[in-house]
Amino acid sequence: MKKRKKSDPVVSEIERALDLGQFISYNRSWDFVRELEDSKKRIDALVKNGEAERAVGLYEMFLSGCYEKAEEIDDSGGNLGMFFGQLFCAWIKARQKAGCKADETVQYVLKWMDNDDYGFCYDIEQDIVQVLNKAGFRLFRKHFQDQLENAFVPYKSESPKFIYDYPADVYRNADILKNIYIVKKDIQSYLSLCEKTVASPKDCENIAMLYKEKKRFADALAWVEKGLTLEKKREWRNQSSYGLTSMRQELLDKLGRREDAFESAWSEFKKHSSMYGYDELMKYIPEQDFKEWHEKALLEAKKASLSAFVEICRKTKEWDILSECIISVEYDKLEQISHYITEKAAKGLAKKHCRAAAKIYGAMGMRILKKGKSKYYRYALEHFRRAEKLYKKVDHEQMWVSLVDRVRKNHSRKYSFIGDFEKIVAGRWPDSPETFEKRVRKRWVKQTSD
């Protein structure tokens, strides 16, 4: 009888890690993928220790296993997808180290990309071209160049059009080639491709970035200016660029035109006040003029965007100015600001400006109630509790009473909320949920009692 070949022990480890048949929730996905990474390290070590050929087969089983797992995991955070990309590149490197033929490797890669039902290979070409050897890279690039040429044949005699006005065979291959050219810093190939179709603002940003990396700042600036002009001409969808303006300022500065860079940053800040715009503006302000322009920026932000004003004051610790603004602003306007901004501001104000901090906490609670999502009501209760403590701390209890009246008037029918809210009003903070330890101790008593 022929002796059965013994299974590789690493296969069992991969099988245990993937745990096929068991659904992985979003909350467990991080730990799940971390275990997969541990198994991958075992295979990576084989490659380093001269067992690349053995590793190739294990990587292939692992890649296939990840695809089998794809419908058994909530991968909203993209953890499994990112792990797949790392595994895929490790597999390519192992094949090359094992002496596998370049054309065979590239064919396998292309088939994976064509049969990608779960989006694991989306934009993966950017990683692939960094690990392919010279022979493999030439074949890989040529495949997409040929695909584009064949798809473009019917349109050669026509005037260039926007990339998404062509069929999918044209724009998909063009997008992949652009990603390849960016990674390889191949400006000429990117420019040649843009001659076939209308360059978009995103293309202009990419080409400008490539020129900037080569320190050809004047050429980079020319493409930025072109992109900004194009941006105004049509709706570009995902071919728009939001980085052109700040890149223009940076390039002007590098070309010795600091005053022009400043004027551009100030103009942009007045149109779209934000913390990012503030940081960009302050790059071009001499130290002796910083205070003057800081105050001008605050005034401008206050006129244009309450959200930006709050964020800038918090980051620059302008607590007195922020407090004065918060106390005077209408509740409705405060409730419209994202809690990512207001919560940090409230924490900073609470140290010396309790009244303003209390108002923010009240607005945060009302914002949650207006959205009506009951799973967040416990956060609203916490915000109201903090508002109460801060108002009472500085003898502004009437403002707390006014907030209570507003909650009762507008949200008394939110039964999963109002009962616990009334406990706060009565001075009794709602009971916290049972801790795990308390719960299991009760279970132990129950299970071991007569």
DSSP state of 7: P
Closest CA to 364 of 408, 334, 393: 334
d(CA 177, CA 126): 10
Q: Which residue has the tokens 């945060």?
A: 364
The predicted structure's pLDDT at residue 8: 83
Radius of gyration (C-alpha) of the chain in whole angstroms: 30
Amino acid at 134: K
The predicted structure's pLDDT at residue 173: 96
Q: Which residue has the tokens 């695809």?
A: 67
Per-residue pLDDT of the chain (450 residues; tens, 9 = 90+): 344 455 788 989 999 999 989 999 998 999 999 999 999 999 999 999 999 999 999 999 999 999 999 999 999 999 999 999 999 999 999 999 999 999 999 999 999 999 998 999 999 999 999 999 999 999 999 999 999 999 999 998 888 888 889 999 999 999 999 999 999 999 999 999 999 888 999 999 999 999 999 999 999 999 999 999 999 998 898 899 989 999 999 999 999 999 999 999 999 999 999 999 999 999 999 999 999 999 999 999 999 999 999 999 999 999 999 999 999 999 999 999 999 999 999 999 999 999 999 999 999 999 999 999 888 898 999 999 999 999 999 999 999 999 999 999 999 999 989 999 999 999 887 665 555 556 566 666 766 665
| Residue 278 CB contacts under 8 Å (≥ 6 apart), including other chains | 269, 297, 301, 308, 312, 315
The pair of structure tokens assigned to 191 is 């420019």
Q: Return the half-sphere exposure (C-beta side, CA atoms, 13 A cut-off) of residue 313.
A: 28
| Residue 305 CB contacts under 8 Å (≥ 6 apart), including other chains | 273, 274
345 by DSSP, 3-state: which? helix
d(CA 7, CA 237): 51
Hey, what long-range contacts does 128-131 have (CB within 8 A, 24 or more apart)?
128/88, 128/89, 128/92, 129/180, 129/183, 129/184, 130/89, 130/183, 131/89, 131/92, 131/93, 131/96
d(CA 322, CA 314): 8
The pair of structure tokens assigned to 426 is 């009565």
d(CA 358, CA 397): 11
d(CA 336, CA 306): 10
Q: Residue 195 region, left (φ>0) first, then alpha (ψ -120 to 50), else beta?
A: alpha
d(CA 99, CA 95): 6
d(CA 22, CA 314): 46
